[in-house]
């Protein structure tokens, strides 16, 4: 065992299919050229089976696993109670054990939308219990992870087990993205904001749009702003984590970083305060859109600073930093946001 191996996992949203294409999750799964080992009946992966781009495969063998939404695979019980996600995670755990028997260390990148985000959380919990846990490095991108719990009563469907990841020792890095527009409480679509291990690098950010509506087709113009921002963020994060997308024709229109910055600048001009309740381990945190802000969100601030010819000075000790229009706050929510 002299080499690391990379496994990328794609979890679609609740009632979504990868094919036919529903959201960008399917698009990214298709663009990833790694060898698909999802089918549990297929033989254990071995050296020489791996896929990925020619340049990358020379240094890092690449595999992938991909799943339709649990509402597709498990019907109403999957839609309401996320039934089927634990079984998917058990399948993945078996594959990871097989990989760890062949390669020195297993790097796992997981991307999940909605209930698929909850699948990522369940996977982190499952991998904390496997024998090869000390051979794993887990990176996750949670896109609006939704447990289906009731906002007004707190009755838990799946969220009671999806808020605490502090014991997940394999978890190295997390990007959690939350669209700011709320759905009615009766749709059970308040997102979850978990607790993470102290040593895990975590970035939580808010973006334009409403749930998976912010993850549809990309295109030119401001009407595609939400999907374009989501695409740019997902691709950049997953690529930095090592996942290769060598079938980029699957992407269709690929918005540039500069174009996405312009989307943010235009959105800043719209005074549209909103409040979106969330289920958080810390209690009471929420997603808000303020009527004003210096930057649209954290990504916008980071990118403007990176692209600026003369970037603003770093934030000094004790300073709170610039005001973000799209943000995650703790209650009570002040007058800079309203309950939708």
User: Which CATH number goes with the domain that contains 186?
Assistant: 3.40.50
| Mean pLDDT score across all residues of the chain | 86
What lies within 8 Å, CB to CB, of 202 at 6+ separation is: 173, 174, 176, 196
Q: Which is more confidently placed, 281 or 36?
A: 36
- Residue 13 pLDDT grade (very low, low, confident, very high; cuts 50, 70, 90): very high
Average pLDDT on 54-78 reads: 78
User: For residue 273, is it within any domain?
Assistant: no
> Is the pLDDT score of 317 beyond 70?
no
Residues 45 and 35: beta-carbon distance below 8 Å: yes
- CB 202: neighbour CB atoms within 10 A? 16
pLDDT score for 53: 45
User: For residue 28, is it within any domain?
Assistant: yes
- Residue 2 pLDDT grade (very low, low, confident, very high; cuts 50, 70, 90): low
User: For residue 56, is it within any domain?
Assistant: yes
Average pLDDT on 254-270 reads: 96
Q: What percent of the chain has pLDDT over 90?
A: 66
Distance CA 127, CA 139 (A): 12
pLDDT score for 321: 66
pLDDT score for 288: 95
User: For residue 303, is it within any domain?
Assistant: no
pLDDT score for 217: 95
pLDDT score for 56: 45
Return the SS3 of 289.
Answer: strand
Average pLDDT on 284-307 reads: 93
> Is the pLDDT score of 153 beyond 50?
no
- Residue 236 pLDDT grade (very low, low, confident, very high; cuts 50, 70, 90): very high
pLDDT score for 311: 58
> Is the pLDDT score of 111 beyond 70?
yes
User: For residue 31, is it within any domain?
Assistant: yes
Q: Which is more confidently placed, 318 or 135?
A: 135
User: For residue 189, is it within any domain?
Assistant: yes
User: For residue 268, is it within any domain?
Assistant: no
> Is the pLDDT score of 6 beyond 90?
yes
Average pLDDT on 122-151 reads: 89
Least confident of 105-119, 135-149, 167-181: 135-149
Angle between the N-to-C axes of helices 115-127 and 70-81, in degrees from 0 to 180, rounded to the nearest 10: 90
- Residue 112 pLDDT grade (very low, low, confident, very high; cuts 50, 70, 90): very high
- Residue 309 pLDDT grade (very low, low, confident, very high; cuts 50, 70, 90): low
User: For residue 202, is it within any domain?
Assistant: yes
What residues does 65 pair with on adjacent strands? 9
pTM above 0.85, yes or no: yes
Average pLDDT on 104-128 reads: 96
Residue 20: closest CA among 30, 34, 9: 30
> Is the pLDDT score of 291 beyond 90?
yes
Give the number of domains in the chain.
1
Which of 139-148, 196-205, 315-324 has maximum average pLDDT?
A: 196-205
> Is the pLDDT score of 279 beyond 80?
yes
Distance CA 302, CA 291 (A): 20
Domain that holds residue 153: 4-254
Question: Residue 332, preceding bond cis, omega within 30 degrees?
Answer: yes
- Residue 228 pLDDT grade (very low, low, confident, very high; cuts 50, 70, 90): very high
Residues 131 and 94: beta-carbon distance below 8 Å: no
- Residue 335 pLDDT grade (very low, low, confident, very high; cuts 50, 70, 90): very low
Residue 231 exposed, middle or buried by CB count within 10 Å (0-12, 13-18, 19+): buried
pLDDT score for 331: 57
pLDDT score for 224: 97
Average pLDDT on 271-287 reads: 86
Q: Count CA atoms within 13 Å of residue 41 on its CB side.
A: 0
Q: What percent of the chain has pLDDT over 70?
A: 82
> Is the pLDDT score of 30 beyond 90?
yes
């Amino acid at each position: 065992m002299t080499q690391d191996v990379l496994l990328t996992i794609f979890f679609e949203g609740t009632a979504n299919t990868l094919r036919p294409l529903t959201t960008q999750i399917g698009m990214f799964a298709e663009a990833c050229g790694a060898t698909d080992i999802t089918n549990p009946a297929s033989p254990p992966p071995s050296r020489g089976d791996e896929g990925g781009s020619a340049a990358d495969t020379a240094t890092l063998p690449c595999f992938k696993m991909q799943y339709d939404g649990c509402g597709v695979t498990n019907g109403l019980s999957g839609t309401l109670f996320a039934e089927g996600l634990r079984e998917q995670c058990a399948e993945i755990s078996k594959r990871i054990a097989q990989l760890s028997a062949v390669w020195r260390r297993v790097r796992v990148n997981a991307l999940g939308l909605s209930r698929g985000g909850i699948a990522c959380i369940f996977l982190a919990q499952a991998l904390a219990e496997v024998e090869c846990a000390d051979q794993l490095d887990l990176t996750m991108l949670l896109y609006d992870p939704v447990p289906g719990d009731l906002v007004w009563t707190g009755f838990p469907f799946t969220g009671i087990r999806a808020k605490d990841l502090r014991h997940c020792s394999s978890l190295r890095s997390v990007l959690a993205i939350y669209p700011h527009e709320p759905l009615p409480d009766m749709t059970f679509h308040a997102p979850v904001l978990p607790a993470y291990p102290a040593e895990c690098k975590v970035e939580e950010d808010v973006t334009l749009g409403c749930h998976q509506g912010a993850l549809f087709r990309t295109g030119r113009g401001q009407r595609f702003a939400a999907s374009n921002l989501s695409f740019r963020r997902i691709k950049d994060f997953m690529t930095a984590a090592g996942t290769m997308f060598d079938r980029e024709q699957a992407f269709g229109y690929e918005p540039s970083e500069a174009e996405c910055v312009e989307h943010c600048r235009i959105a800043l001009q719209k005074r549209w305060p909103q409040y979106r309740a969330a289920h958080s381990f810390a209690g009471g945190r929420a997603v808000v859109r303020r009527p004003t802000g210096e930057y649209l969100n954290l990504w916008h601030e980071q990118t403007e600073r990176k692209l600026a010819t003369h970037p603003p000075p770093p934030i000094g000790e004790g300073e709170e930093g610039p005001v973000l229009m799209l943000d995650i706050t703790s209650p009570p929510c002040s007058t800079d946001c309203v309950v939708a």
